[in-house]
Amino acid sequence: MNGHRFYLDHNATAPLRPEARAAMIAALDVGGNPSSVHFEGRRARALVETAREQVAALINAKPLEIVFTSGATEANAWVASGGWDTILSSGIEHDSVRGPVAATTARQVALPVATDGVVAVEEIANFALRDASAAGRTLVMLQMANNETGIVQPVAEVAHFCRAHGLAIHTDAVQAAGRLPIDFTNLGVDTLSLSAHKIGGPTGVGVLVIRDGTKLATLLAGGGQERRRRAGTENVIGIAGFGAAAAAARDLADVPRITALRDRLEAGIAQLTPQAMVIGRTGVRLPNTTALAVPGLAAETLVIKLDLAGVAVSAGAACSSGKVGVSHTLAAMNLPADVARSAIRLSLGWNSSPADVTAFLEIWATVARPRALCAAA
Ligand code: PLP
């Protein structure tokens, strides 16, 4: 491929948008501590506050509801560790939710997931009507869209219900941002997490959006930054990049183009490999994500072959030393083992082009021949 690379892994990290790069380069020369009262400090503060407004605008939140963090992992963990008596969540949540939930002393209620990848929302209703009075302070954690499959959850519906029954609700909107319209003010959730690097900003910066009036214990006490909720001198450069990426992603202008590319990709794969299946195809999905499974082909081998041919994708399954591990998301959906073991994720974004799709299909035609690869054991 003449050394040319084709990047189809935006759900892992999207390439840095030019707007974010420019904002970060400009911020490098600003200097100053945003908490200082002098001119240099005020200049740094202005960058942080502009970015706060830009991120708030992306999701229709108030700027004062935005708390900058080191990423969505920190934001999710902050909410999970909020001293809940009971937490309801499902097996398709990202590890940054699953890990902190498992580490709490809260009573944990596992929500089942149907094979279409949607959480059984009636279980939340059953819980609220049956057990909520004895459950104490209760939190529901429900992602907006899944990072592996792109399957979208009915967060607004669940949030409405939670509010009516006094349950708190957090949504991890990391993969939905810039791909679906998000209206925090009207969504009804208490808290929401975002990550800059999934929308073309830098890694290592995210936000927890906390509904005005919601009580959540301070994450870090110290210098009192972020309205005394999360201390530490702000990552001014990263925050400036996040703000610029949020502004660029806000109008979702790219979504029809990306959807068309994704549809062309899936049609091409179906033609070349009729036995291929797209997980979650018939449900509500993100416009940029294809979770592709070809039973009989081992995902890990496919990822390596594609990488050697110039294409970056990722695997839902990890196979090493002949041992195949199935992703927790696909396991929670109860997909047949041969489907789960062969699942790879193709994800597009702001700089994806028709050339990426064409190249992928050309390379796919050569690597995706059943039995040409190490079969999933
Ligand atoms: N939540 C989801 C759904 C993700 O895909 C990711 C990224 O891997 C995260 C949370 C963690 O985000 P961060 O890398 O900002 O910690």
pLDDT digits 0-9 by tens, 41-97? 999 999 999 999 999 999 999 999 999 999 999 999 999 999 999 999 999 999 999
User: Is the confidence at residue 209, as pLDDT, over 60?
Assistant: yes
**Residues lining ligand 1, Cβ inside 6 A:** 71-73, 94, 96, 143, 147, 172, 174-175, 195, 206
Can you point out the beta strands (E) in 45-156?
Answer: 66-69, 86-90, 107-111, 138-141
Mean pLDDT, residues 223-227 taken together: 94
pLDDT digits 0-9 by tens, 227-256? 999 999 999 999 999 999 999 999 999 999
pLDDT digits 0-9 by tens, 142-191? 999 999 999 999 999 999 999 999 999 999 999 999 999 999 999 999 99
CATH level 3 topology of 18-249: Aspartate Aminotransferase; domain 2 (3.40.640)
Among candidate residues 16, 187, 239, 319, the one labeled active-site is: 319
User: Is the confidence at residue 322, as pLDDT, over 60?
Assistant: no
Ligand 1 pocket mutation pick from 9, 11, 96, 101 by most atoms within 8 angstroms of CB = 96
Ligand 1 pocket mutation pick from 55, 147, 174 by most atoms within 8 angstroms of CB = 174
Sketch the domain layout of the chain as residue ranges. Answer: 6-15+252-376, 18-249
> So what's the pLDDT on residue 142?
98
Q: Is 319 a catalytic residue?
A: yes
Q: Are 6-15+252-376 and 18-249 the same fold in CATH?
A: no
Can you point out the beta strands (E) in the chain?
Answer: 6-7, 66-69, 86-90, 107-111, 138-141, 168-172, 191-195, 206-210, 277-278, 289-293, 311-312, 314-315, 318-320, 323-325, 344-347
**Beta bridge pairs of residue 67:** 208
| Residue 1's pLDDT band (cuts 50, 70, 90) | very low
Q: Can you tell me which atom of ligand 1 is nearest the CA of 96? A: 10
Query: What's this model's pTM, rounded to 2 decimal places?
Result: 0.95
Q: Which amino acid is at 194?
A: L
Q: How far, in Å, is the centroid of ligand 1 from the Cα of 11?
A: 9
| Residue 371's pLDDT band (cuts 50, 70, 90) | low
Q: Are strands 206-210 and 277-278 parallel, antiparallel or unpaired?
A: unpaired
CATH level 3 topology of 6-15+252-376: Aspartate Aminotransferase, domain 1 (3.90.1150)
